[in-house]
Chain A
C-alpha cells in the first residue's frame, strides 16, 4: 500500500478551494496553510503558458524531515503518510529547514505541522478534504501500489512530473502536465 496523489495541472484553475477546505477540515489557524497554489507563467506576450499547481507535503519515500527529527515526532505511518505527533514535537524546526518543498510550518501552539493526507478521513475510506471538494476534479488520491486504482491508472496513462526530483526525496505527488 502506497498512498499518493495526482494533480491535473490542465484542469486546475487555482481557485484554492483545496486550501480553504483543508483549513476548515483540519482547523488550520487563519494565516497558515497546509496546501497552497503556485502559478508559473512562461513565455512572452502573446505566446504564454500558465501552469497552476495545488502544492502540499509530498509524503516522500525518502524523508529528510523524518531523518532530521530528533524526537521521532515526525514519522511515517501505513501507506507512506508522513505525520507529526504534536505532543512529541519540541518545535526545533529541523524538519522545516530540511524540507525542499517548504511544506511545514510551526503551529502557533509551538509544534511543526503540515498536510496529513487527511489520514483521519483516509482510514474511513474517504478522500482527503482537498481532493473531495475540488470543483474541477483535478486531484486523484489512492493507492499507487494498486494498478486498478484511479490514481495509479492516471499516472500510468498521462505525462507527469514531480517537484524538485533533484532533491532525491522521491515525492509521491504527481503533477499531470
Chain B
C-alpha cells in the first residue's frame, strides 16, 4: 500500500485529539514530477507583479525556473501591502496560471442559458459579434442600457471601454455586497471614506476591537501581519463574534454575541464611555460636533439593557469599554470590510465611527493614520460622452448616500418586474462570478434571462459564464501588463505588473480585448496605444521614472507630504458640513435618516433553524480560488460548524453529510460535512464562502461543499446605500438527499 501524507494525517489527528487540515490527493501536473534541482533565488529570473488573487493587491516577484516556467511568487520587501511576505493565496497564485480548467478560447453559447453548452470560435468572430451587438443596443435603447459588472484590475479596462461607449452603469459587488455602508458611514462622520487598504495603525495599537472581523481567516495581508506584531507587543484584542474565530483565540476578551445585536453592544459601549468619562475629552471638545445630543441619546442604552439583547454580561461590557478607554487614543474599533449584514449597516458603522471618534483614534498613532497616495498622470484620451441617464435614475431618490453604483439596482433595472423607463437590456461581466456573489439568486437569474445580451470575461469557467452569449478567455495576472497599482498607505507607492509568461492557450489581456472592441465600435481613439507598455512608459516617464526602472524595482515609494498623524496644536478641518467629526449628523436628517444610530430588533431564527454565518478561510478568496490546485489542496470543502448541543438534538456527528434548507424553502444544491465544535453558538451555523460550485468544468471544485450565496434569498436592503444585508437567513438540516434524481449525490 502506498502511504500518503493524507493517510498519515488522518491517523495523527485521531491520536492527537486535534484537528488537522490535510491536503488531499487530486492532481499532479507533469512538470512537478521531474527531478530537477531547485533553482537558486539569486540566479533565477524574476518579474514584478502585484497579486490579483485578492483586492489587497500585494506587490511581489514572480520567479521562473530553469526552463523559464513560472516557479513561485514571493513578496516585494519595498511594498507596504505585503512587507515582502505574501499570504497563502498570493503564494498559491501559481495555481491560477497552471489550472488546466481555464477558459482557453472564445466561446459562443449554443445551449439554453445556464447549461454551459458552447462552441469555440475565433477571437475575430467574437469581437465582431460583441461590437455589432453593442452598436445595435446603443441604437435601439441607448448605450446606457448596456451595464458593466466588474471587479479587479482588468475590470478597470472594461470601465474605460464603457465610459467611452456612453454608459456609466458600471458597478462592482465590492460596494453594495461588501464595504458600501462602511465607506458612507465614515464619510458622514469623518468626511473621509476608508478605501483599501484601510488606514489602520494596528502595529502600534494598544487595543484592537474586532466586531465580526476575522483577521487571520480573512488574510488581509498587511492587517494580519500587524495584528501579529500587536500580539508581540502585548496589545489587548477584543473580539465580538458568535464564533470562536482564530482572532478570538488570540483575544483577551471573546464576546460571543447573539447575532444581529451588535448595535446594542455598540450603543452600550458608547454609553459606558460617556458615563464613565473614558473618552478623549480634549479631542471630543475640539474636533467633534454633537456630543451633547449623543450623550442624551445613549442615556438609556445601559449595559444592563444590552445584556438582555446581546447575551453579553454587563460586567464584560464595562470591562471592555474600560480597556478601550485606557488605551485611548491608541485604540482601533475595526470598521470591518464585508459589512452588509442586517440592512441597518450604515447606521451600525456610524456607531463604530462614533466610538472611534470618542476614543480619539482618528488621526492618532495606534488608531487611524492619515493615508497618502501618489498621483499618476492620465494617458491622454478624448472626453467621454455624457450618458443621458445613470443607475441613479432607475429608482430616483433611493439610496441617497451611495457614492458608487449599486449592483443590485442594475439587476433591478434588468428584471421583468421593473416598469420604469431606464431599463437595462444587456450586461458585460468582467472578472466577477455574479451567481456566487449576488444574493437572491432567483432574482439574478430572472434578470439575466430577461436580457438581450450577456458577455462574460474571465480566466476561469464559472456559473455566470453559462448564461453568456459570448465568453472571452482572459489571461491571468501573471501573463499580462496592467495599470500601475496606486494605493493609499502610510507612504505613497505604486507597483508594476508585468507578465512572467506568455498567455496560455488563446487567452488575452483585458486591455487588449477592450482595445479590439473599441476600434470596432468607433471608439479606437480611447485606446490609442499599441500595447499597454506604451501607457505605462508614458505615465512613468512623466513621474521621472520609466518602465525599465520599474521592471527592476517592482515598487516605487515616495516621501509623504503631510504628517502621518494629527499634530498637537494644528487645527484640522474635516470634509463634513460642520468641518468637524460629526457624532450627530444633520446630513443624515436631510437625507431622511436618523442623525444618531438607534437599536432596531432584527429577526431571530425560529425553533429548528439556525442563523447562517459565512466567512473566509485563509486559503480562498470568493468562489474564484476554489478550483486553484494549490489552494484547493489546503481547503477543499467547507465544513458546516455546528455546536455540540445542536448536533445532539439532530443526531449529527462530525463528518456526517448534510444539505441545508433556508427559512424561505431554498435548498442547497450539494451537501457538506458537519464539523461539531464548541467554537460556535448553538443558535448559529458557520461555513466558508465560495463553495458548492455547479459548473462541471471545474474539475476540482465542482459539487464540493455548499454555496452560502444560494441560501441567501432573504435580503435586507440598507436604505442609505442600497447595500444587500446577507446575514438574515436561517437554515435547517436535511439529512437525506433532497435531490433524489441528482446522480452526483445519490
Interface residues of A (CB under 8 A from B): 10-11, 13-17, 19-21, 23-33, 36-41, 43-46, 48-50, 52, 86, 93, 96, 101-102, 105-106, 108-109, 120-121, 124, 126, 132-138
Contact = CB atoms under 8 A, between A and B. Distances in A.
10 closest Cβ pairs, A-B complex: A13-B216, A31-B25, A136-B228, A50-B249, A15-B618, A40-B18, A102-B8, A24-B72, A17-B88, A105-B5
Given A36-B20, A132-B74, 8 more contacts: A10-B231, A36-B23, A39-B18, A40-B16, A50-B249, A135-B221, A136-B225, A136-B227
B679 A48 contact: yes
A132 to B, nearest CB: 8
B224 A15 contact: yes
Contact of A137 (B35, B42, B219, B228): B228
Contact of B16 (A21, A38, A50, A121): A38
Most B C-beta atoms less than 10 A away, residue of A10, A29, A31, A52: A31
A10 B250 contact: yes
A24 B73 contact: yes
A17 B32 contact: no
Contacts of B247: 13
Interface stretch (B133-141, B412-420, B600-608, B629-637): B629-637
Interface residues of B, number: 76
A26 B39 CA distance: 9
B2 interface: yes
Contacts of A23: 630, 633
A136 B221 CA distance: 9
A20 B88 contact: yes
B19 A135 contact: no
B5 A45 contact: no
Contacts of B315: none
Contact of A45 (B88, B219, B678): B678
Contact of A48 (B8, B36, B73, B678): B678
B246 interface: yes
B22 interface: yes
A16 B88 contact: yes
A17 B633 contact: no
Contacts of B225: 135-137
Given A24-B73, A30-B633, A133-B85, A13 B19 contact: no
Nearest to A14: B246
Interface string B1-17: 01111101101110011
Given A38-B20, A106-B2, A135-B224, A26 B678 contact: no
A25 B39 CA distance: 9
Contacts of A19: 23, 88, 634
A49 B86 contact: no
Contacts of B25: 30-32
Contacts of B26: 30-31
Contact of A30 (B18, B75, B630): B630
Contacts, number: 195
Contacts of A38: 13, 16, 18-20
B29 A30 contact: yes
Contacts of A16: 21, 88, 618-619, 634-635
Interface string B70-82: 0111110000000
Contacts of B219: 15, 135
A15 B618 CA distance: 5
Contact of A37 (B2, B20, B256, B681): B20
Contacts of B567: none
Contacts of B231: 10-11
A13 B246 contact: yes
B33 A108 contact: yes
9 contacts: A13-B224, A13-B246, A30-B29, A37-B20, A105-B4, A120-B38, A132-B74, A136-B228, A138-B228
Contacts of A50: 244, 246, 249, 679
A93 B629 CA distance: 27
B351 to A, nearest CB: 24
Contacts of A101: 12
Contact of A20 (B13, B16, B33, B630): B630
Interface string B376-415: 0000000000000000000000000000000000000000
Contacts of A44: 678
Contacts of B224: 13, 15, 135-136
B280 to A, nearest CB: 30
Given A32-B23, A32-B25, A40-B18, A24 B630 contact: yes
Interface string B300-319: 00000000000000000000
A24 B21 contact: no
A132 B86 CA distance: 10
Contacts of B229: 137
Contact of B35 (A109, A133, A135): A109
Nearest to A103: B8
Contacts of A20: 88, 91-92, 630-631, 634
A36 B21 contact: yes
B368 interface: no
A50 B239 CA distance: 14
A39 B246 CA distance: 10
Most B C-beta atoms less than 10 A away, residue of A27, A30, A48, A106: A30
Most B C-beta atoms less than 10 A away, residue of A29, A124, A126: A29
A92 B9 CA distance: 20
B3 A96 contact: yes
B94 interface: yes
B618 A48 contact: no
B643 interface: yes
Nearest to B29: A30
Contacts of A29: 28, 32-33
A7 to B, nearest CB: 12
Contacts of A133: 74-75, 85-86, 91
Contacts of B633: 23, 30-31, 33
Contacts of B631: 20
A8 B441 CA distance: 43
B20 A25 contact: no
A30 B282 CA distance: 58
Interface in B191-231: 215-217, 219, 221, 224-225, 227-229, 231
A101 B13 CA distance: 11
Contact of B87 (A17, A32, A39, A108): A17
Contact of A106 (B4, B41, B71, B629): B4
B124 interface: no
Contacts of B94: 24
A86 B36 CA distance: 12
A46 B256 CA distance: 7
A65 to B, nearest CB: 14
Interface in B126-145: none
Nearest to B1: A93
A21 B91 contact: yes
A43 B5 CA distance: 29
A25 B86 CA distance: 14
A49 B249 contact: yes
Nearest to A24: B72
Nearest to B681: A45
Interface in B48-94: 71-75, 85-88, 91-92, 94
Given A31-B26, A31-B27, A13 B618 contact: yes
A102 B9 contact: yes
Contact of B11 (A13, A30, A102, A108): A102
A41 B19 contact: yes
B190 interface: no
B232 interface: yes
Nearest to A138: B228
Given A24-B630, A38-B18, A136-B228, A32 B5 contact: yes
Contacts of A52: 246, 249
Contact of B9 (A36, A40, A109, A121): A36
A109 to B, nearest CB: 7
B589 interface: no
